[in-house]
Amino acid sequence: MTETLFLTSGDVADLATPSEYVDAVREGYRQRGEGAPAEPRTKLFQSDPPGMLTGYSAILPDTGAMGGYMYAAGFADRDAHFVTPLFDADSGAPLAIVDGASMNPFKTGAAGAVAVDELARLDADSVAVIGSGAQARGQLRATATVRSLDTVWVYSPTKAHREAFAGEMNERLDASVAAVASSAAAVEDADIVITATNADDPVFDGDLLEPGTHVTAMGQYNPQKREVDDTTVQRATYVPDLRKRATQDAGAFLHALESGAVTEEHVHAELGEVVAGEAEGRTSDGEITLFDSGGTGIETVAGAYLLYEKARAAGIGQTLDFAPASEALTGE
């Protein structure tokens, strides 16, 4: 039998800081840039009741872990359930099963922050956040660990939501956070633009971006939906989390490709290639950069292993027994 740690959402909710997630995820992307295996998500759909079963995975050999996400969304309960299996990358033995809901905004936010650190100007200190949910909170909190922020403008369609976001983030961050009445007002003069929405169509006009802006678009991984327009994609140095995603489910890039605004050669590099120094990041203060983040097993494995190590050190979690196939299949 193999002892495997089970960690509930409550176990991991406050186990790691945004900065720790960013460090772990940066290391994961470095490994990817040096050749660590990772694949984009696969999605299976059911129509009655409507729902989606999704999975993606990665191996981080230097971390010593592999695994990923499997999650269900929709179906009869109209909810989402995230399960993260984590395995030892050397032995293959199961290390942990993590309820992934609590870590989701933090590990995804960490990927965005790694991109900000690699692609945004060093003096970037103003942020536009479009969206006011958990993912927007995770992105902003993680971004604040890699840049000294002065001003944040947040927009979402519901006034009460954007004002609540601004109030909470004003308490958490040193920056001044204010709700604004339109996405245009948020984007104007922002050094960093973060989109974290469930929008079907672009949420701002790419012509509004000032030279030198960095954009992180993380809310869509559907070929029929997009948060940023063709202009944004065309104007920017385009960096996806995984190159294969650009032509699989990166709706903004696919739309720009189909419209003729860009070609497949417009993909500059994967984020991991930039982190590992295999490709250049920002090359000038006037360059517009775009990180297209659809979610990968890289940040999932990196985040889950961080939580696993911290849980073991703190004596948190419940131990389960897993039988290897050599025992279970033979009954010995």
pLDDT in tens, 7-50: 999 999 999 999 999 999 999 999 999 999 999 999 999 999 99
Sequence-distant (≥ 6) Cβ neighbours of residue 183 within 8 angstroms: 128, 130, 155, 203, 204
> What is the pLDDT at residue 331?
57
> What is the pLDDT at residue 2?
84
Q: CATH assignment of 2-104+297-328?
A: 3.30.1780.10
> What is the pLDDT at residue 332?
54
Residue ranges covered by each domain of the chain: 2-104+297-328, 120-292
> What is the pLDDT at residue 221?
84
Contacts 24+ apart (CB under 8 A), 74-83: 74/49, 74/50, 75/46, 75/49, 75/50, 75/51, 76/49, 76/51
> What is the pLDDT at residue 228?
97
Query: 320: which strand partners?
Result: 4
Mean pLDDT of the chain: 95
> What is the pLDDT at residue 223?
87
Residues in the chain with pLDDT values less than 50: none
> What is the pLDDT at residue 131?
97
Q: How far apart are CA 294 and CA 324, in angstroms?
A: 33
Q: What angle do CA 300, 302, 308 make, to 5 degrees?
A: 100
Q: Do domains 2-104+297-328 and 120-292 have the same CATH topology?
A: no
pLDDT digits (tens, 9 = 90+) for 43-77: 999 999 999 999 999 999 999 999 999 999 999 99
pLDDT digits (tens, 9 = 90+) for 256-281: 999 999 999 999 999 999 999 999 99
DSSP 3-state of 41:
strand
Map 232-283 to HEC letters: HHHHCEEEECCHHHHCCCCHHHHHHHHHCCCCHHHECCCHHHHHCCCCCCCC
Q: Which CATH number fits domain 120-292: 3.10.105.10, 3.40.50.720, 3.40.30.10, 3.90.550.10?
A: 3.40.50.720
Phi, psi of 57 (to 5 degrees): -150, 165
